[in-house]
């Protein structure tokens, strides 16, 4: 007898020309944390969208506690205790934290009014449980960092109740401390007999938190592993992609060329209204700069200043030796500065346009012939870039909204390549994409450097910065450290700089 809370039986999902899921079986047991992994486009999100009632299968059956059900909407799934926390943070910026958490589930007094004190108390309790001490219930959602917004979205869904919580890339925007707080809540839910489905590309996290891991590849279930001492990251990667991945960080160091960008004592305001320390750096052609630091210190804000989205408070910017003032993103593009945004859906894509249209959006002038777009040239450009980043050809004519997160990120990067960008700003470019896609992005960044382009990587992933960057800077609330050449920092020293502890740099550095 199957004791599963939810069983997916022989589920198939067919789109026009694409088989997204092919006869997949998937069980969720009581009090279990089950991981779901696979490359971008493997079918993970599609499967969970079906389980949560957002989409309907082409064939197959869903059972809840052994009984067949048909979910025609998310509300139908929620009525059976299935709650979905999507990868995209769905908060209303203008509402407060507590208003977002109780939206559609408001508590009333005996006289029909809103029970604001009770809602605030419950919101505070769940936020404290998740370790969100910096988040105030009466704070506007727009003032929160990305990680804090994600924690509020998680808190909202857990507070509303359920027996199965589906979490799609919940840690992509979280700090290490926030991730551990989330894992603590997941373990508490497990102790209460409640289950979680954890979708992530961070395999170390999977091995840490999950009881079992299911692997999808090309729409089929190809693995179902119990998490024990014998299960390794390499084994999971092999199951995901059918082979092993070479060192994802490997790249040839390029010779640096002319000075492209120079910042002198640049200061800016963070999203929380804090002033950053003075930032001084230089970026050369053929060089990959890494800027890292904890969440909320101003990395994204600095990327936005360099892309013309925000104005600095003080300091100077120079491009190829000349003073640089950016009044808008258009002026940045005219200076051949391109941004790959952290939030690809909200800031990087026009979701209802095709992938090809998104790729060529900033390159239409060079594709125009006698005032009209040369569609053949556009198609040829898209196909050459699609092959370079290992995308499926049929994705070119698919709406960006229908692509997996990893393929959406490829589209955003391709747009900058099509525009002949000379200085590429990459804000968390590998957030929420699988290990194979990460390796492709790193390879592409290396190719840019080899092609004498300049790139700046803004990342909260220490191993990423240590693995691919030629020079590293560390931004903290009080100091801007660096530069450190490749090999001068190890993981422990980088963490010490970020957290402001002593003995930040090894006495003897190991140069490459």
State the span(s) of the chain assigned CATH 3.40.50.300. Answer: 1-81+162-241, 254-347+410-499
Kind of pairing between the strands at 6-15 and 18-28: antiparallel
Helix (H) or strand (E) holding 28: strand 18-28
Residues 268 and 315: their CA atoms lie apart, in Å, by 9
What residue spans of 351-404 are helical by DSSP H? 355-359, 364-367, 375-388
**Residue scoring higher pLDDT (275 or 370):** 275
Q: For all residues of the chain together, what is the average pLDDT?
A: 86
- Phi/psi-derived region of residue 166, left when phi > 0, alpha when psi is between -120 and 50, beta in every other case: beta
Stretch among 12-16, 388-392, 451-455 having the lowest mean pLDDT: 388-392
pLDDT at 512: 33
- pLDDT mean over 112-116: 83
Stretch among 178-192, 335-349, 468-482 having the lowest mean pLDDT: 335-349
Q: What is the pLDDT of residues 41-71, one digit of tens each?
A: 788 888 999 999 999 999 999 999 999 999 9
pLDDT at 314: 95
pLDDT at 7: 95
- pLDDT mean over 354-372: 87
Residues 255 and 285: their CA atoms lie apart, in Å, by 9
- pLDDT mean over 475-495: 88
Residue 507 has pLDDT above 50, yes or no: no
> Is the link from the previous residue into 428 a cis peptide, with omega within 30 of 0?
no
pLDDT at 252: 59
Name the pTM for this structure.
0.62
Residues 86 and 468: their CA atoms lie apart, in Å, by 30
pLDDT at 76: 93
Residue 332 has pLDDT above 80, yes or no: yes
Residue 177 has pLDDT above 90, yes or no: no
Residues pairing with 314 in the sheet = 267
Q: What is the pLDDT of residues 250-293, one digit of tens each?
A: 555 667 789 999 999 999 998 767 899 999 999 999 999 999 98
Nearest residue to 443 via CA among 410, 488, 400:
410
Kind of pairing between the strands at 164-168 and 314-319: unpaired
Residue 155 has pLDDT above 80, yes or no: yes
pLDDT at 510: 33
Residues pairing with 68 in the sheet = 63
For 267, counting Cβ atoms within 10 Å of its Cβ (0-12 exposed, 13-18 middle, 19+ buried), the class is: middle
- Per-residue confidence band for 191, with pLDDT thresholds at 50, 70 and 90: very high
254-347+410-499, CATH topology level? Rossmann fold (3.40.50)
Q: What is the CATH number of domain 1-81+162-241?
A: 3.40.50.300
Nearest residue to 344 via CA among 287, 419, 264, 406:
406
Q: What is the pLDDT of residues 218-247, one digit of tens each?
A: 889 999 999 998 998 888 878 877 755 555
- Per-residue confidence band for 319, with pLDDT thresholds at 50, 70 and 90: very high
Residues in the chain: 512
- Per-residue confidence band for 248, with pLDDT thresholds at 50, 70 and 90: low
Residue 504 has pLDDT above 90, yes or no: no
On whether the CB atoms of residues 286 and 414 are closer than 8 A, the answer is no
pLDDT at 506: 40
pLDDT at 250: 58
- pLDDT mean over 365-372: 84
Highest mean pLDDT among 25-34, 45-54, 128-137, 203-212: 25-34
The proportion of the chain whose per-residue pLDDT surpasses 90, expressed as a percent, equals 38
User: What's the distance, CA 297 to chain centroid?
Assistant: 18
Give phi and psi for 66, each to the nearest 5. Answer: 90, -5
Residue 190 has pLDDT above 90, yes or no: yes
Q: Measured between alpha carbons, how far is residue 288 from residues 204, 283, 291, 447, 456 in Å? A: 26, 8, 10, 11, 6
């Amino acid at each position: 007898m199957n004791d599963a809370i939810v069983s997916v039986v022989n589920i198939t999902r067919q789109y026009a020309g694409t088989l997204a899921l092919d006869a997949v079986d998937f069980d969720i047991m009581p009090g279990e944390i089950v991981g779901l992994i696979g490359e971008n486009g493997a079918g993970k999100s599609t499967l969970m969208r079906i389980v949560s009632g957002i989409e309907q299968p082409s064939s197959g059956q869903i059972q809840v506690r052994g009984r067949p059900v048909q979910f025609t909407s998310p509300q139908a799934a929620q009525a059976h205790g299935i709650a979905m926390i999507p990868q995209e943070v769905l908060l209303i910026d203008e509402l407060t934290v507590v208003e977002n958490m109780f939206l559609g589930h408001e508590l009333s007094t005996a006289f029909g009014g809103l029970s604001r004190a009770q809602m605030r108390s419950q919101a505070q309790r769940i936020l404290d449980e998740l370790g969100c001490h910096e988040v105030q219930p009466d704070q506007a959602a727009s003032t929160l960092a990305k990680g804090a917004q994600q924690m509020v979205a998680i808190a909202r869904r857990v507070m509303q109740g359920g027996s199965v919580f589906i979490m799609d890339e919940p840690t992509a925007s979280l700090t290490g401390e926030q991730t551990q707080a989330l894992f603590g809540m997941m373990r508490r839910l497990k102790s209460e007999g409640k289950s979680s489905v954890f979708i992530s590309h961070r395999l170390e996290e999977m091995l840490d938190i999950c009881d079992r891991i299911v692997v999808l590849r090309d729409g089929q279930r190809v693995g179902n592993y119990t998490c024990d001492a014998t299960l390794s990251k390499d084994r999971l990667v092999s199951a995901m992609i059918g082979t092993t991945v070479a060192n994802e960080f490997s790249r040839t160091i390029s010779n640096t060329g002319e000075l492209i960008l120079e910042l002198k004592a640049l200061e800016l305001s963070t999203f929380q209204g804090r002033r950053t320390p003075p930032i001084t750096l230089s970026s050369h052609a053929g060089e990959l700069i890494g800027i890292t630091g904890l969440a909320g210190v101003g990395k994204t804000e600095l990327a936005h200043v360099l892309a013309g989205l925000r104005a600095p408070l003080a300091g100077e910017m120079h491009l190829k030796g000349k003073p640089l003032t950016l009044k808008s993103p258009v002026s940045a593009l005219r200076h051949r500065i391109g941004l790959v945004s952290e939030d690809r859906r909200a800031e990087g894509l026009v979701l209802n346009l095709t992938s090809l249209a998104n790729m060529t959006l900033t390159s239409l002038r060079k594709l125009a012939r006698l005032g009209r777009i040369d569609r053949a040239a556009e198609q040829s450009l898209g196909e050459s870039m699609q092959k370079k980043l290992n995308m499926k050809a049929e994705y070119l004519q698919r709406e960006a909204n229908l692509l997996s997160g990893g393929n959406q990120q490829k589209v955003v990067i391709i747009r900058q390549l099509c525009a002949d960008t000379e200085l590429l700003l990459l804000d968390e470019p590998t957030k929420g994409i699988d290990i194979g896609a990460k390796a492709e992005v790193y390879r592409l960044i290396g190719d840019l450097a080899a092609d004498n382009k300049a790139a700046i990587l803004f990342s909260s992933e220490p191993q990423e910065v240590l693995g691919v960057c030629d020079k590293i800077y560390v931004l903290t609330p009080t100091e801007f450290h660096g530069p450190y050449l490749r090999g001068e920092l190890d993981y422990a020293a980088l963490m010490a700089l970020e957290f402001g502890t002593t003995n930040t740099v090894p006495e003897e550095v190991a140069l490459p």
